[in-house]
Amino acid sequence: MSEPSAVARLVDSSTSHLLPRLGDTVRTLIGDVLDTWGLTGRELRALSSAHGRTLSQRELGSLTGLDRTTMVAVVDKLERLGYARRERDPTDRRKYLITLTGDGTRVADEAIARLAKAQAEFLSPLNAAEQHQLNTLLLRLYEAHDPTCERP
């Protein structure tokens, strides 16, 4: 096959191309790790957001970065796996209060530890300083573009 064209090289090496593609790569890696517990990435995020406290389904969504329609399936799944429970809020019967089960808490801890290892492996082409630098830059971009859910 011939050399990539100048245009293709430009597009392929751009940050706006790399970010979604690397994001997909990471998502797949995370998915493979989480298969052990029957979880997907966003379900683990919800699990960790709910870790150690009680929130409404809506609040959990905001924290997790998911809107309320998406949260329904996420909480359904966590409930079905026995990792979380829904209870009606007695002070506002529109709301559900979500709490993790003992199992859910344990799984969150285990999964996060395993993910840390997978992440270390993924980032291993960079040295410690570079990994830190990358994280800092990504965090700044993330906060600048704050994908806060359920704003208006």
Partner DNA sequence: TATTGTTATACTCTATAACTATA
Partner DNA sequence: TATAGTTATAGAGTATAACAATA
The two structure tokens encoding residue 123:
């980032």
Q: How far is the CB of 6 from DNA (least distance, A)?
A: 22
User: What's the rounded Cα separation, in Å, for the pair 17 and 12?
Assistant: 6
Residue 84 found at the interface with DNA (CB under 7 A) = no
Q: Let me know if 5 is exposed, middle or buried by CB neighbors in 10 A (0-12, 13-18, 19+).
A: exposed
Query: Which of the choices a second copy, DNA, none does residue 26 contact, using the CB cut-off of 5 to 8 A by kind?
Result: a second copy
Span from 37-45, 103-111, 120-128, 135-143 in contact with DNA (CB under 7 A): 37-45
Q: Using CB under 8 A as the criterion, which residues of the chain lie in contact with a second copy when the complex forms? A: 1-2, 4-8, 10-27, 29-30, 41, 44-45, 48-49, 51-53, 55, 59, 62-63, 65, 108-109, 112, 115-116, 118-119, 122-123, 125-126, 130-131, 133-135, 137-142, 144-145, 147
Q: What's the distance, CA 114 to chain centroid?
A: 14
The arrangement of strands across the sheet holding 84-89 comes to 55-56, 92-100, 84-89
Given 70, 99, 101, 105, the residue binding DNA (CB under 7 A):
70
Binding footprint of DNA, residue count (CB under 7 A): 34
Element (H, E) at 14: none
